[in-house]
Amino acid sequence: MNSTSTRLFFIISVFVTLINTKSAFAQQDAQFSHYMFNGMYLNPAFAGMEGVTKVTGIARTQWAGYQVTQGDNAYGSPKSAVITVSTPLPILDRKVGLGVHFLRDVKGPLAATEFQLSGSYHIKIRDGLLGLGLRSGILSQTINANYNVVDPNDPIYQALQQGKANQIKIDLTAGAWYKTSKFYVGLSVGHIPRSKYTFGLDSVSSRINNHVYLTGGYNFRVGPSLVVTPTALIQTDINEWTYLFGGMVTYNDRFWAGLQARQSIASRDAQKGGKTLANDDIILLVGFSMLKNNALKVGYAFDFVTSGVNAKKRTSHEIMLSYFIPAPWDIPKPKVRTPRYRHEEN
């Protein structure tokens, strides 16, 4: 094993050791089908890695048309939206990146809001660039308790009837990202503090589990105009595993289309019929770039559920927009002509 491989293996081993043992809660983070365009949300080490200032927004409606009426309230399809900003900084020979993201994730009466800052340090390794990053900020959880329950006399339900229960905690994520002109791979561990939410009630205890994200992709150039890019994402909180894998074809660096498959496997009580419970999606992605240097990207993802549809609708929709500009300190300053030294042309 060469020195570069040894170094990468050591970094991956360090992050894996941060994962706690199996916990009792299901995966809690928002999921997006445009993960290959969403490195800043998945991994703080991605901050500044592209060498430009980039803004990305993704909005998702899951199980479109899904609606459940509880009491006087109707809860519709789960909805998620994230906005990220990433830029390199002109310090330490431009080896430092800065990022920020804002997330809103609503699932019926449950809602999560995140606002977090990321910082990364970039190390040149042969033909590639290794980023090491940390992210911290606030993670807010809200419960709207105005819905029907099996036992309306339950003390927890009674305590929450005063209205929305909200609690804010400090969050922390660590990550590593390595990229070359041909491939990239990223690994991150989120919710390191494993914050516990009680909403001020001794009888309530909900803990945010560690979430691990491993993603990668490889660019195969097929002729002068086509690039084929297989991509994959594995995300887990140990109790539940979600796999996304597939590929995209990009034409003339401007138009792309892709097909992905998602499989989620969660632990299930053996007394209720088995050890695992799986759900599958097929995902179609299309998009295009426009403006000078393909600065603006527009993408759309259509998800179709192929199994586990008893409690959900089959289709989900997702829109992605991203726009980049050169970092402010890289924008060339306009030339200033001094009239004193200008000569009129005859």
Domain range list for the chain = 3-325
Fold exhibited by the domain 3-325: Porin (2.40.160)
Q: What is the value of pTM for the model shown?
A: 0.81
Structure tokens at 311: 């409690």
Q: pLDDT value at position 278?
A: 64
Q: Report residue 336: phi and psi, to 5°.
A: -105, 115
Residues in the chain: 346
**Beta strand 255-267 pairing with 183-190:** unpaired
Q: pLDDT value at position 260?
A: 95
Count of C-beta atoms within a 10 Å radius of residue 177: 26
Q: pLDDT value at position 6?
A: 40
3-state secondary structure of 253: coil
Using 50 as the pLDDT threshold, list the residues of the chain that sit under it.
1-27, 71-72, 270, 341-342, 344-346
**279-309 pLDDT tens trace:** 688 999 999 999 988 999 999 999 998 876 6
**147-186 pLDDT tens trace:** 666 677 766 666 666 656 788 999 999 999 999 999 999 9
Longest dimension (CA), the chain: 95
Cα dist. 308→30, 276, 304 in Å?
19, 12, 11
Which residues contact residue 255 at a Cβ distance below 8 angstroms, ignoring those fewer than 6 apart?
Answer: 287, 288, 289
